[in-house]
Amino acid sequence: MTMFGRLVHYGVDLVLISTALAGIRRSTGLTPKLDDANSTVQGMIKQYLDVGERVIDYAKPWMADSKLFKRQP
């Protein structure tokens, strides 16, 4: 696998993890405890988790309009 291929693979994995954490946050309200981290690390983690939030915000309307998914009562 080329170096570019590995970077793309790791990037997609990181986005998937961020999206899973965002889904956990939305469904349970649990968030990472960042009190002990300095402000730079807190900002980086917040930006990373915001990527997952944006993916969910994009995917939700797409899935609602798709015929592959339906809402359960």
48-69 confidence digits (pLDDT tens): 999 999 999 999 999 989 989 8
What's the chain's average pLDDT?
A: 90
73 is a domain residue: no
In angstroms, rounded to a whole number, what is the distance separating the alpha carbons of residues 68 and 59? 13
15 is a domain residue: yes
Helix, strand, coil: what percent of the chain each, to 5?
Answer: 75, 0, 25
In angstroms, rounded to a whole number, what is the distance separating the alpha carbons of residues 39 and 67? 44
Give the residue numbers spanning the domain of 52: 3-65
20 confidence band (pLDDT: 50, 70, 90): very high
16 is a domain residue: yes
70 is a domain residue: no
Does residue 26 have a pLDDT over 80?
A: yes
pLDDT of residue 7: 94
